[in-house]
Amino acid sequence: MVAVELRNVSFAYPDGRAALRGVSLKIEEAESVGLIGPNGAGKSTLLLHLNGILPEALTGEPGVFIHGLPVAKSSLLEIRRQVGLLFQDPDDQIFCPTVYEDVSFGPRQFGLPEKEVGGLVREALAKVGLQGFEARSPHHLSSGEKQRVCLAGILVSQPKVLALDEPTRGLDPRGKRQLITLLRSIPATKIIATHDLELVVELCGRAVVLDEGRLVGEGPTAALLSDEEFMLAHGLEKPHILKHAHPH
Amino acid sequence: MHIPDGFLDTKTIAAAWALSLLGVGRALFALRTRMSLRKVPLMGLAAAFIFVAQMINFPVAGGTSGHLLGAVLAGVLLGPNEAVLVMSVVLVVQCFLFADGGVLSLGANIFNMGLVAALAGYAMYRLMAVPLRGERGRFVAAAFAAWFSTVLAAVCCTGELAWSGTVPWSVAFPAMTGIHILIGIGEALITTLVLAAVYATRPDLLPFGREPEAGGRKGRPIAGALIYGSLVVVGLVLFVLPFASRWPDGLERVAAVFGFRSRSLASPVIRSPLADYRVPGIGSLSWATALAAFIGAAIVFGLSFLLARTVVPKSKDHAR
Amino acid sequence: MHHDFIDRFSRLDSPIHGLPPAVKMAAALLFILVSVAAPLRTPFLFPGLALGAALVTVLSRIPALFILRRLFVFEPFVLVIAAVSLLQPGGPMKFESIVVRSTLSLTAVLLVSNTTPFTEVLGVLRRAHAPSVFVTLTALMYRYVFVLIDETQRMRRARLGRTFAKGGVRTWRSAAGIIGLLFVRSTERAERIFAAMSARGWR
């Protein structure tokens, strides 16, 4: 079952910047795909397409399909229920004054009754290891905790697809380890845009390389990332984790 | 000029609340009918921004500092209805969270700083932008509007305090207005400098030349201006006008029925020395204040012209 | 202007903290109404109010010193008005009235805000059918005030590291520059927040 499909997607920002050029991609259900490439390659833009955030991308023929459903104006609500998008800065994403209010935002938008919402929030917080954090103010949380709140806020809607933009940025090694363990436990289809190649090696079976808006390579992670020449040609490097044999 | 509780009497509190609720209600209505969802986070952040901006110290001689009020800054950057809402939200949070300004006096504070300062200031900005063309002109217009908003808000504030019997108008007016003529110069300077900083990094964020039309759509361009204008005028009539002049006899009689009296007759003017005080060569304190206002305005104009010239190079300044 | 951040004591544990927020807000409002409107010489009333306030302070476990200290911070404007009020016929009585009424009202606000997390205050406003856009704006403002303060401090520190001379004009330009930059960043952040809200189905 194809969870995410892009058919020859091109996109240019209103100011003329071309961000994506003819990208075609298929991601199977429950797959974890790493989206890598140099700065400005279009990774974030691609992720934004999965959720219908960019209004300009919603005109014309739909090029993005989530579980067969085209991403278009008419289907936006359903798409947003199915695709959870995690942005780069948790402070942009936690916009409510308490953790409870923020995590419950999605379900409340979809009109669920308050009692049901309470249960869902509790479950989601437990899943990310933040039980009891309901009344906390986001300002007092560490960046790792903030990120987990963001994840909880997405998981609460039980999305089928998770799109993450630089999830390990700003995390200390422990935070990163916790995130990896957490992500492994979530069965949804995952697409992770990141500079953190170690993360890709650990979590993603497949990697996709973007450069200047074009899809320039894809394949099994270890093989693709070990191709030093290819990596260097696209502003990347073979990660250390693949250079040496590690005991774990 | 946040008025604490206990400084205003019941009738003033009620009148100010009535005006404020109408004004904020109008702003909410105007925005609901033509607002995209996109504006909500912008206004929320703008409120946080104004609050933080108000905290920043601008040192003045001798250890004191001046602070930005920001009503005109908000109006220029965001638009009049948005400025009303943003300033009101700031005032509400300041009241409830920091006890800056009283709870019952909140009506008056919103009227002074959320309605008068924002709307009269914005109106003055648009007015001055007409003869003062080009981008430089916008800076000068904003500066003058900022000064004007501070002074007018202070006058209304004084009127409210005097109508409540807390202070005698004859003393409070020259004192408050005089002080705020100076403070207004600071407000004008800070507003201009901030706009200049935004202009330097993201000139596209300054709606110079793209200012929103007053009022709603559907060919009712002045509805909003009329509603807001009436509220401000009613406020001025209630709080300020009776002190500046006697009401006509007919109105006096009507007012007496309701228990009001022309305030220039009401409480005995304070006994010497200030009642009879005559500023040498000028006349009563009120005239002295008016003169100070003219001087203040001239200073603001001069400074802002100079600033505008440094901010906007000749090449970029095209008359619109 | 003095700012005491973050409802410092609003999450303590006390009989007052445990009361429903709507009750506390209503009680405070009533208290303030009476303090402002009742005739000053009503027998027993004002001493009674003061006693009540003191009692609530003790029960709430908020340090009395905190309240007292806050009561003595005045905007210069307030001092000017209070001084001017003294200089009129019947001045001392007016002055007394101002001082008593404003002190009591201020105490009420301090007690409520320090025994009730602001988010609960917002909840009360929503349930009371205050205009929902207004409450949303207030919530957003409260949420991001601290973020913006942090940003401002970072900007200030960065500038301090590059400033070598103390100068009035330069300080003003620098401070205004920080405010300007803060506006630009806030606008950009607002765009990202809007994207995040939309992504989670906001309508």
Asked whether the beta carbons of residue B270 and residue C88 sit closer than 8 angstroms, the reply is yes
pLDDT per residue as tens digits for the range B37-76 = 888 999 999 999 999 999 998 888 777 788 899 999 999 9
pLDDT per residue as tens digits for the range B235-278 = 888 887 777 665 455 555 665 555 555 444 444 443 334 444 55
The chains in contact with chain B, meaning 3 or more Cβ pairs closer than 8 Å, are C
What pLDDT is recorded for position B271?
Answer: 39
Residues of A in contact with C117 (CB under 8 A): 135
Q: Residues A48, A126: contact at Cβ < 8 Å?
A: no
**Integer Cα distance of C186 and B46 in angstroms:** 7
Check CB contact of B76 with chain C, cutoff 8 Å.
Answer: no
pLDDT reading at A217 higher than 50 = yes
SS3 B278: strand
Check CB contact of C94 with chain B, cutoff 8 Å.
Answer: yes
Asked whether the beta carbons of residue A80 and residue C198 sit closer than 8 angstroms, the reply is yes
What pLDDT is recorded for position A239?
Answer: 83
**Integer Cα distance of A80 and A74 in angstroms:** 12
Name the residue facing A97 among C119, C189, C198 (closest C-beta). C119
Mean pLDDT of B74-84: 93
Check CB contact of B303 with chain C, cutoff 8 Å.
Answer: no
Check CB contact of A11 with chain C, cutoff 8 Å.
Answer: no
Residues of C in contact with B98 (CB under 8 A): 3-4, 113
What pLDDT is recorded for position B83?
Answer: 95
What is the distance in angstroms between the Cα of B223 and the nearest Cα belonging to chain C? 22
Asked whether the beta carbons of residue A77 and residue C119 sit closer than 8 angstroms, the reply is no
Residues of C in contact with B58 (CB under 8 A): 171-172, 175
The predicted model scores a pTM of 0.88
Chain C interface mutation, best of B1, B2, B3, B5, highest count of C Cβ atoms under 10 Å: B5
Asked whether the beta carbons of residue A53 and residue C198 sit closer than 8 angstroms, the reply is yes
Mean pLDDT of C192-201: 90
The 3-state secondary structure of chain A reads CEEEEEEEEEEECCCCCEEEEEEEEEEECCCEEEEECCCCCCHHHHHHHHCCCCHHHHCCCCCEEECCEECCHHHHHHHHHHEEEECCCHHHHCCCCCHHHHHCHHHHHCCCCHHHHHHHHHHHHHHCCCCCCCCCCHHHCCHHHHHHHHHHHHHCCCCCEEEEECCCCCCCHHHHHHHHHHHHHCCCEEEEECCCHHHHHHHCCEEEEEECCEEEEEEEHHHHHHCHHHHHHCCCCCCHHHHCCCCC
B window 80-139, beta carbon within 8 A of C: 85-86, 88-90, 92-93, 95-100, 102-104
Q: What is the CATH number of domain B10-314?
A: 1.10.1760.20
Give me the domains of chain A, ranges plus CATH numbers. Answer: 2-90+159-243 (3.40.50.300)
Mean pLDDT of B79-102: 93
What are the helix and strand counts (H, E) for chain C?
8, 0
Q: Residues C174, C159: contact at Cβ < 8 Å?
A: yes
pLDDT reading at A36 higher than 60 = yes
Q: Which of B162, B213, B181, B133 is nearest to B291 (CA)?
A: B181
**What residues does A4 pair with on adjacent strands?**
A27, A66
User: E strands, chain B, where?
Assistant: 58-59, 65-66, 278-279, 283-284
The percentage of residues in chain A with a pLDDT greater than 90, rounded to a whole number, is 50
The percentage of residues in chain C with a pLDDT greater than 70, rounded to a whole number, is 93
Q: What is the ipTM for the molecules in this complex?
A: 0.92
Q: Rounded to the nearest 10 degrees, how much is the dihedral formed by the CA atoms of A65, A68, A72, A75?
A: -140
End-to-end Cα spacing for chain B: 36
Asked whether the beta carbons of residue C196 and residue A95 sit closer than 8 angstroms, the reply is yes
What is the distance in angstroms between the Cα of C91 and the nearest Cα belonging to chain A? 46
pLDDT per residue as tens digits for the range A109-133 = 888 898 899 999 999 999 999 999 9
pLDDT reading at C127 higher than 60 = yes
pLDDT per residue as tens digits for the range B173-223 = 888 998 899 999 999 999 999 999 999 888 888 888 777 655 444 445 567
Asked whether the beta carbons of residue A53 and residue C118 sit closer than 8 angstroms, the reply is no
Q: Residues B214, B225: contact at Cβ < 8 Å?
A: yes
Q: Which of B63, B62, B58, B80 is nearest to B71 (CA)?
A: B80
Check CB contact of C183 with chain B, cutoff 8 Å.
Answer: yes
**Integer Cα distance of A165 and A43 in angstroms:** 8
pLDDT per residue as tens digits for the range A58-113 = 887 888 999 989 998 888 888 988 999 999 899 999 999 999 999 999 888 888 89
pLDDT reading at B149 higher than 50 = yes
Q: What is the mean pLDDT of chain B?
A: 82
Q: Which of B51, B53, A116 is nearest to C140 (CA)?
A: B51
**Integer Cα distance of C153 and B69 in angstroms:** 20
